[in-house]
Amino acid sequence: MTDNASQTDLSTTTVAVIGAGNMGGPVVRAMLAAGTDPQHVRIVNSSPASSERAAAELGVTAAADRAAAVDGADVVVLGVKPYQILDLLAEIGDGLAEGAVVVSLAAGTTLAQMQEALPADTAVERAMPSVPISVGEGAVGLMRGDAVTDAQHDLVHALFSCAGVSVDITEGQVHAFIGTAGSLVAIVFSLMEAMIDEGVREGLKRDLATELVQQTVRGATGLLRESGQHVAVARGTVTSPGGTTVEGLAEFERRGGRAAIASAMQAAADRSKEMAGD
């Protein structure tokens, strides 16, 4: 985050979120954690009932429709599916407030495509978030459009300042970002599920196996962060000759564990490229 972003006061910022679903919801939570006033956050989903339900769950306001949500908003976040983005921009473009920034969460729709669907010189950004931003432990890659001013970019950074890690990336890096953060979350969940199931198979109660796996993943991350150690050095410190860990690691390598993880990340990045037509 930039210094200016950390000094940005969000208490009067009005945010419209069109599509507060699996990703739009966590984005709203992160923006509230950053200091946005819930009364200034309006959301709209595909029906009034859905908007009301999501607004009640998130503690923000439901807008009557998309035009009402966008009216006067400083920041308009698009949390709909990628195939909906361009039609949505064509619909809301003329209703955007002067100086508004449009932030799309969509994979596969580029800044150039978005810019083309909007009135000239509209400020457009892309944000690629991962789900744990809702608990302040996610990652957000921000891609800045040409028409975005420094003040607008600082505002977007400030909105994501409590999301976890937020960094500027290029559109060329977004595919790697998806493989290494956005989609990786689900791969980590899947790995953790396998670890918990095996702990149960080895005789632990599911609650205990879950607690141990969560603590182990958290502990490994905390240790690397605090010590600054290279990950291979940290692994070496828990690998004594002829011991249990080296035996487990050898089996992991023989079974192609590392290759399977790399392939999964590459597949996610490749799919992102395919969606973007790159």
Contact set with ligand NAP (CB under 6 A): 18-24, 44-47, 50, 66, 79-82, 84, 105-107, 128-129, 131, 182
- Smallest gap, in angstroms, from Cβ of residue 234 to ligand NAP? 28
Looking at beta carbons, which residue is closest to ligand NAP? 21
Closest CB to ligand NAP among 8 and 130?
130
Closest CB to ligand NAP among 79 and 199?
79
Amino acid at 181: A
Closest CB to ligand NAP among 44 and 100?
44
Q: Identify the bridge partners of residue 139 per DSSP, sorted by sequence position.
A: 165
Contact (Cβ atoms closer than 8 angstroms) between residue 182 and residue 128: yes
Contact residues for 49 (Cβ-Cβ < 8 A; gap 6+): none
DSSP letters spanning 58-85: HTSEEPSSHHHHHTT-SEEEE-S-GGGH
- Smallest gap, in angstroms, from Cβ of residue 97 to ligand NAP? 19
Q: Identify the bridge partners of residue 144 per DSSP, sorted by sequence position.
A: 125
Q: How far is CA 186 from CA 69, 118, 129, 131, 190, in A?
A: 31, 33, 13, 9, 6
- Smallest gap, in angstroms, from Cβ of residue 240 to ligand NAP? 39
Closest CB to ligand NAP among 191 and 212?
191
- Smallest gap, in angstroms, from Cβ of residue 53 to ligand NAP? 8
Nearest to 196 by CA among 207, 186, 187: 207
Alpha-carbon gap, residue 35 to 96, rounded angstroms: 23
Closest CB to ligand NAP among 105 and 209?
105
- Smallest gap, in angstroms, from Cβ of residue 49 to ligand NAP? 8
